[in-house]
Amino acid sequence: MDMMGRGPARVAVDLMGGDHAPEAVIAGIRIAREAGHASVVAVGPADLRASIESETDAEFVVADQVVSMDEHPAAAVRSRPESTMAVGCRLVKEGAADAFFTCGNTGAALAAGLLYIGRIPGIKRPALATVVPATERVPVLLDIGANADCKPENLVQFAMMGREYARAALGTDQPTVGLLNIGEEPIKGSQLALAAHELMKDTVPGFFGNVEGRDIPQPPVDVIVTDGFTGNVAVKLIEGTAKALLGAVADAFRSTLASRLGAALAMSGLASLKDRLDPDEYGGAPLLGVDGVLLVGHGSSGPEAVASGIRMAARVSEQGLPSRIAATL
């Protein structure tokens, strides 16, 4: 469904997704509504109807089953057709919502998206993408886990979908694309990377060539393409490295009296850094290639992250993301 020029989008929101659901989700809906980001359809068990209606101006749709964070995704989604995941995706499929946002089990969201929204015709493998928080140019990285094994032609489609996401989500004009590889030269890499490079150089607009692991945080391109195994390791490694490093910086500050004083003085600068590196700014991970907008937020999302996800889901819907992806085929 193409929302271009149709005004603010309707975003279905999973009330039961994430570690702090439903409270953080309800608070996030309130923030998003106050900012006028989108109209919201809250999806959750009937006993939440009263709080939604008293605390927000969102519509309410009942979904009486829940898929929890640690279940086997595909099986849980299939066996629970009235789960918030399933109902949210069906609202998108039926056109009752333009997008679905959930902070729940990522695997279950992928399974529900494939089962209830379905692929854009011609897209072989939908891919999960993310915007990597970085200090300057923020790249779109995909696949980050939907496809542990990929073929070269899948990576070509990931490139095309990543470019459309960079346009719709970040407003990037002519997105450039790098292939994640283990050397800059075209002759470097795994069998997959070698074959993908050959295909991409002839078919992907703005193809830059190979980029390496060290380039991800300060990339020379707008979109970085890889298989879902490498991409998943990469995003979790960035998260882990940042956590370990900032923790170590904090420890170093605590180590002497002078450094404790120094840390207090440096706090304002560090707080602005924290804001710039906050992944919640970018609203979550879209499943690209399904025929609708499906965005998965971090399980630990608080109210601000939920609001940011709703805003992003609305924005890319209003930009007509699925039709734009279909048009690249």
Residues in touch with its own copies (CB under 8 A)? 134-135, 145, 148-149, 180, 182, 188-191, 193, 212-218, 226-230, 232-249, 251-256, 258-259, 261-270, 272-273, 276-277
Residue with tokens 């795994």: 190
How far CA 309 is from CA of 31, 32, 240, 304, in Å, comes to 11, 9, 22, 9
Q: What tokens were used for 267? A: 């706090």
Q: How far is the CB of 196 from its own copies (least distance, A)?
A: 12
Instruction: CB nearer to its own copies: give 115 or 233.
Output: 233
Instruction: CB nearer to its own copies: give 100 or 253.
Output: 253
SS3 96: coil
| Distance from C-alpha of 274 to C-alpha of 114, rounded to nearest angstrom | 35
Instruction: CB nearer to its own copies: give 53 or 185.
Output: 185
Q: How far is the CB of 89 from its own copies (least distance, A)?
A: 22
Q: How far is the CB of 134 from its own copies (least distance, A)?
A: 7
Q: What tokens were used for 74? A: 């595909």
For residue 36, how many other CB atoms are within 10 A of its CB? Answer: 10
Q: How far is the CB of 303 from its own copies (least distance, A)?
A: 24
The upper half-sphere exposure of residue 130, i.e. CA atoms within 13 Å in the direction of its Cβ, equals: 28
Q: How far is the CB of 300 from its own copies (least distance, A)?
A: 13
Find all residues with CB under 8 Å of 109, minimum gap 6, and list them.
85, 102, 287, 294, 296
Instruction: CB nearer to its own copies: give 199 or 233.
Output: 233
Find all residues with CB under 8 Å of 277, minimum gap 6, and list them.
133, 134, 135, 242
Instruction: CB nearer to its own copies: give 197 or 324.
Output: 197
Q: How far is the CB of 261 from its own copies (least distance, A)?
A: 5
DSSP string, 105-143: -HHHHHHHIIIII-BPTT-SS-EEEEEPP-SSS--EEE-
Q: How far is the CB of 179 from its own copies (least distance, A)?
A: 12
Q: How far is the CB of 106 from its own copies (least distance, A)?
A: 10
Instruction: CB nearer to its own copies: give 4 or 266.
Output: 266
SS3 56: coil
| Distance from C-alpha of 250 to C-alpha of 25, rounded to nearest angstrom | 30
SS3 11: strand
Instruction: CB nearer to its own copies: give 9 or 238.
Output: 238
Instruction: CB nearer to its own copies: give 41 or 223.
Output: 223
